Amino acid sequence: MRYLTAYNVQRTVFFTAEDTPGLPGVFEAVPARPKGLKVPCGFRPRAGGWPKAGPLTRRSMQSALLLECAFMKDDTKKTEQFYDAWNGSTLLYGKRPLEVYHEPYLIKNEDALFFKQALEPLQALVDKITLLFLRGKFREIFQFEPRLLDLILADPGYPILIPFSRWDTFYDGKNLKCLELNTDGTSGMVYVEELDRLHLETFQSSGEPCRLKTYLLETLLDCYQGFKNKKVQKPQIAIVDWNDVPTRPEQSVLCDFFNLKGYKTVLADPRALTYDGSVLWKDDFRIDLIYRRVVTGEYLNAWDQVKDMTQAYLDQNVCIAGSFRSQIGFDKRTFAILSSEEYEGLFSSQENELRRLYIPWTRILKVGHQNFNGMRVQFPDYLEDHPELFILKPAASNRGEGILFGNQVTRSDWVSQIRKRLSKGHIVQERLEVPKCTITSPLGMEKPNSTQAWGFHLGHFLIGGKVRGWMCRVGEDELLNDRSDDRLIPCLRVK
Q: Do residues 191 and 166 lie in contact, with contact meaning Cβ atoms separated by under 8 Å?
A: no
**pLDDT at site 206:** 79
Q: Dihedrals φ, ψ of 321, to 5°?
A: -85, 125
**pLDDT at site 476:** 81
User: Global pTM?
Assistant: 0.84
Average pLDDT over residues 466-473: 96
Rg (CA), the chain: 24
**pLDDT at site 478:** 76
Lowest-pLDDT range, 68-77, 198-207, 447-456?
A: 68-77
Handedness of CA 88, 90, 96, 98 (dihedral sign): negative
Per-residue pLDDT tens digits for 242-253 = 999 999 999 999
Of 439, 431, 481, the residue nearest 456 (C-alpha): 439
Of 461, 457, 343, 329, the residue nearest 396 (C-alpha): 329
Residue 482 has pLDDT above 70, yes or no: no
> Comparing 393 with 401, which gets the higher pLDDT?
393
Residue 290 has pLDDT above 50, yes or no: yes
pLDDT band at 199 (very low <50, low <70, confident <90, very high): very high
Per-residue pLDDT tens digits for 8-23 = 223 333 332 233 333 2
Domains delineated in the chain:
1-74 (no CATH), 77-107+435-460+469-493 (no CATH), 109-326 (3.40.50.1760), 361-430 (no CATH)
**Buried b or exposed e, range 405-441, using 16+ CB within 10 angstroms:** bbeeeeeeebbebbeebeeebbbbbebeebbebbbbe
Average pLDDT over residues 166-180: 95
> Comparing 446 with 335, which gets the higher pLDDT?
335
Per-residue pLDDT tens digits for 14-61 = 332 233 333 222 222 333 333 333 333 223 333 333 333 333 333 333
Share of the chain above pLDDT 90, in %: 71
Q: Dihedrals φ, ψ of 453, to 5°?
A: -90, 120
Share of the chain above pLDDT 70, in %: 82
Per-residue pLDDT tens digits for 313-326 = 999 999 999 999 99
d(CA 43, CA 12): 8
Of 214, 221, 218, 232, the residue nearest 286 (C-alpha): 232
d(CA 398, CA 330): 10
- Enumerate the β-bridge partners of residue 321: 291
- Give the count of beta carbons closer than 10 Å to the beta carbon of residue 46: 14
Handedness of CA 255, 258, 259, 265 (dihedral sign): negative
SS (H, E, C) the chain: CECCCCCCCCCCCEECCCCCCCCCCCCCCCCCCCCCCECHHHCCCCCCCCCCCCCCCHHHHCCHHHHHCCCCCCCHHHHHHHHHHHHCCCCCECCECCCECCCCEEECHHHHHHHHHHHHHHHHHHHHHHHHHHCCCCHHHHCCCHHHHHHHHCCCCCCCCCCEEEEEEEECCCCEEEEEEECCCCCCHHHHHHHHHHHHHHHCCCCECCCHHHHHHHHHHHHHHCCCCCCCCCCCEEEECCCCCCCHHHHHHHHHHHHHCCCCEEEECHHHCEECCCCEEECCEEECEEEECCCHHHHHHCHHHCHHHHHHHHCCCCEEECCHHHHHHHCCHHHHHHHCHHHHHHCCHHHHHHHHHHCCCEEECCCEEEEECCEEEEECHHHHHCHHHEEEECCCCCCCCCCEEHHHCCHHHHHHHHHHHCCCCCEEEECCCCCEEEEECCCCCCCCCCEEEEEEEEEEEEECCEEEEEEEEEECCCCCCCCCCEEEECEEECC
